[in-house]
Amino acid sequence: MTAIATPGKIIAVHLNYPSRAAQRGRTPAQPSYFLKPASSVSGTGGTIERPAGTELLAFEGEIAIVIGERARHVSPADGWRHVAAVTAANDFGVYDLRAADKGSNVRNKGGDGFTPLGPVLIPASVADEGGWRVRTWVNGALVQEDTSDTLLFPFGRLVADLSQHLTLEPGDVILTGTPAGSSVVLPGDVVEVEVDAPDAAGSPSTGRLVTTVTQGDVPFGDFGSKPAIDDDQRIEAWGSEAELAAAVAAGRATAPAASAPSVLTDELRAAIGGVAVATLSVALRKRGYHDVFIEGVRANHPGDRLVGLAKTLRFIPFRPDLFASHGGGFNAQKLAFDTVEPGEVLVVEARGERGTGTVGDVLALRAQVRGAAGIVTDGGVRDFDAVAGFEIPVFSQGPHPSVLGRRHVPWEVDVTIACGGAAVQPGDVIVGDGDGVIVIPPQLLAEVVAEAVVQEAEEAWVAEQVAGGASVDGLFPMNAEWRARYEAERQDTP
């Protein structure tokens, strides 16, 4: 069969391959979709233009199914019967335009040439719906390979689900999702996608759907949203931090922007090292901050201290459907431990629920290897003895052997959370010692530490006087006479 003419509708599925869902850190319970305009269709040997001013044009090799028989309110068992043919597709998108779309995908995936299809159709009758394979090559290197028998939502189910909402007409196309391996391509790159039925008689194939990337030169006008990206978008577009780093090293990607200077300077970090959490709490209380203590947590090593900027992770109460959609794959918990930066403290909201673990030995080790300054959770710690054997300080409610699926669903990272009764925002300064853990708003850090250092010095001097036999009456706190003696001695000290 030759390639199809322009379809009436092009409907694309968001997440459908487990390998891709694992990359994204979420597994949907039901399929979801977006529409692509018919004007985005192109054929083999064509080009795709990376729009001027954009950086992150990404390919997605996919199996496309073509409706042959009108479908309305059909069952999943009957859905495959309404498919006439299978072909290859490439669902291109520009991450730089995602924010402007607000979820519609019109701008980032709807450009001219952004939906190559073909080069030929294979009759659906040559294989069942689980008998298809998709492969993608970039500049001759195989980068994607998966088969339809792994799909979260088989072809017939997609047809049935869509037919509940709209009529599928002959010639309509459904893009059925992309497997892991999608990444960014640059002008001059050549992307090839092939779909075949390797176990069918004659191993029928679409042949390779070839698209060459070119660079656009027409800038966006001021009458619409402009392209915009950040480092999180770069990581998602390239596939992972490691793949982005490799692309930067190869000169194919822009290096992440330099971080703003940390409020927690080396000088302040050193100063905090000599200040107790109890002293810091006094300075904060004077400024009206009474609920900045993370209640109920203790260090896994006696004598541990931690100082760092907060990176946050939030768990919500367990619910089977939410755990099914958010608990598997590269979920929020794994994402948090896999992206914590050197010097950060991973702070976990577990609602004070100590009846299950929120971190175990593997994730604690991952945080340690990445250089995290510590972990704080108002929940339990699994593999407690093993975690206690690591160097990384961990403050928690104590041990519990259960995994998080007993009480928790890992939900989101880098958001404002409540841990042990204290509000914690990403970038807050976290300090912990034998008295527990305190949260310091970054804008108060310098003045709070300066005051606490002075107070520590005074209290050390008072302790010397008490050790020498002085009564605490009038000394603690110092009255005018003791204050004068302290000031005099301090001035005489070189």
Residue stretches of the annotated binding site for Mg(2+): 383
Helix 480-492 and helix 445-467, axial crossing angle in degrees, nearest 10: 100
Helix ranges (DSSP H) in 213-290 = 231-238, 241-249, 266-272, 277-286
**Binding annotation for substrate:** 360-363, 382
* Alpha-helical segments (H) within 105-230: 106-109, 155-163
Neighbours of 264 (CB within 10 A): 22
Give the bridge partners for 381, in sequence order: 359, 399
CB 111 within 8 A of CB 85: no
- Residues in contact with 292: Cβ distance below 8 Å, sequence separation at least 6, in sequence order: 281, 284, 422, 438, 439, 440
Known binding residues: 360-363, 382-383
Tell me how far apart the alpha carbons of residues 484 and 491 are, in angstroms, rounded to a whole number: 11
Buried b / exposed e over 53-62, threshold 16 CB at 10 Å, is ebbbbbbbbb
| Residue listed under structure tokens 């994607």 | 144
How many whole angstroms separate alpha carbon 267 and alpha carbon 59? 47
Which backbone phi and psi does 289 adopt, to 5 degrees?
-100, 95
Residue with tokens 């939502």: 153
Nearest-CA neighbor of 311 among 281, 350, 339, 291? 339
* Per-residue CA distances from 244 to 11, 184, 200, 339, 385 (Å): 30, 9, 38, 13, 36
Q: Where are the beta strands (DSSP E) in 60-151?
A: 61-67, 83-90, 93-94, 115-123, 133-138, 141-147
